[in-house]
Amino acid sequence: MTETPLIGDYSTPNTELSGARVGVVTFPGTLDDRDAARAVRLAGAEAVSLWHADANLHDVDAVIIPGGFSYGDYLRAGAISRFAPLMDKIIDAANSDAKLPVLGICNGFQVLTESHLLPGSMIKNDHLKFICRDQVLRVENNQTAWTNQYTAGQEIQIVLKNQDGQYVADEHTLDELEGEGRVAFRYVGWNPNGSRRDIAGITNAAGNVVGLMPHPEHAVEAGYGPDHTGTDGLGFFTSVLTTLVGGAK
């Protein structure tokens, strides 16, 4: 079945972007892998399915760890997934000289903290309830592999849905993130889960690994995303393609 994007055809063949391969990881309990794969295709790249037990990354140029409840969130959200065979490959590639771009969304962010690719941890929302709403974020760092198509200070509206979305870290780590400009996104208007310093997403020092709790893959098509424009999340996926094209030159 042919999928027709409603925001313009970003997936035209024979462009610099059309050869990029972006892996989307599936664990038992993952929910949003197909949404992430569709967002990748709408941005103009090839989405490559990666199973948690795969022995290699199948030559992908970037990786997305999508949302869901991997392994039922047993023990702690993301705690079991961190030990999946594929995660060892992702950790090595992200920390290598090649700096594989990695995006963790919601449960994927939890997996990245459990893997120590990003600092801090995720705990239950301060109100102890699952929450699902449209959420405004402010782009604090537009210099990462996943945010370079936004402007610093830009406000975007994407979907938020979580129950273990409260980002926590010790004061030293929080000060370090702030001082090094590694807070990538901040909640605007209301902190929906009690995250320290309104932090919605962070990046590693190199800028190739980004994690956030809200879901950009649910805001990539007009008429289907939040009311603001419906497409504010698309910039994540075009950003990484821009990064890959720039690195290939």
The secondary structure of 51-66 as a DSSP string is ETT-SS-TT-SEEEE-
Q: Is 217 annotated in the active site?
A: yes
Cα–Cα separations (whole angstroms), residue 130 to 70, 100, 184, 239 = 16, 32, 23, 30
Indicate which residue of 52, 114, 140, 215 is catalytic: 215
Question: Residue 108, SS3?
Answer: helix
d(CA 122, CA 110): 6
Indicate which residue of 52, 114, 140, 217 is catalytic: 217
φ, ψ at 238 (rounded to 5°): -75, -30
Q: Is 221 annotated in the active site?
A: no
**Amino acid letter for position 219:** A
Indicate which residue of 52, 106, 140, 218 is catalytic: 106
Q: Is 132 annotated in the active site?
A: no
Instruction: Give the number of residues written for the chain.
Output: 249
Q: Which residue numbers are catalytic? A: 106, 215, 217
